[in-house]
């Protein structure tokens, strides 16, 4: 069995992001409490706005941090798994009938198609990696 897995290039894992977020919340609440103790009550509004904006941003980041695309070839089975925004899609092709589309000059993805089914792949790859992956997969199809 041959497997290719393409992942999003994320600098922080969700657990690292959670630790950073908790540290940021503690720091913001500590600073806001200090200002509140000296009588500046407006700081609570700005701290709430700040933490709301940061929370929304981190949730969007986490939603896509674990995204991946995977191609598995075993005998005449070609299985494509896509996990995007916590939604998994699995499509199975026969290697004898599946066809690869070569990406055009400015396209960032390629597709695998077979009688009415098609799936786009390669959104996490650089153009040179995309060409290399297509060259590796092509001999398995037939």
**Co-location of 55 and 96 in the same domain:** no
**Co-location of 58 and 80 in the same domain:** no
Helix (H, G, I), strand (E, B) or coil at 17: helix
Lowest mean pLDDT among 75-84, 99-108, 110-119: 99-108
Return the pLDDT at 121: 94
Q: Which domain holds residue 122?
A: 2-6+66-140
Dump pLDDT digits (tens) for 117-134.
Answer: 999 999 999 988 998 999
Q: What is the DSSP letter of 67?
A: -
Dump pLDDT digits (tens) for 56-99.
Answer: 999 888 888 889 999 999 999 999 999 998 899 999 999 999 99
Dump pLDDT digits (tens) for 33-59.
Answer: 999 999 999 999 999 999 999 999 998
**Co-location of 79 and 113 in the same domain:** yes
Domain C-terminal end among 65, 88, 111: 65
**Alpha carbon distance 113, 119 (integer Å):** 7
State how many domains the chain has. Answer: 2
């Amino acid at each position: 069995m041959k497997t290719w897995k393409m992942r999003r290039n994320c600098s922080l894992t969700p657990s690292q992001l959670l630790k950073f977020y908790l540290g940021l919340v503690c720091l913001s609440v500590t600073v806001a409490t200090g200002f509140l103790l000296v009588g500046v009550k407006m700081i609570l509004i700005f701290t709430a706005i700040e933490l709301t904006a940061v929370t929304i941003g981190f949730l969007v980041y986490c939603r896509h941090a674990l995204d991946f695309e995977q191609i598995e070839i075993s005998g005449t089975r070609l299985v494509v798994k896509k996990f995007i925004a916590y939604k998994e899609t699995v499509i199975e092709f026969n290697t004898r009938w599946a066809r690869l589309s070569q990406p055009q000059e400015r396209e960032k993805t390629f597709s695998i198609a077979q009688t009415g089914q098609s799936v786009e792949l390669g959104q996490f790859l650089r153009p040179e990696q995309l060409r290399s992956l297509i060259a590796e997969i092509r001999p398995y199809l037939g």
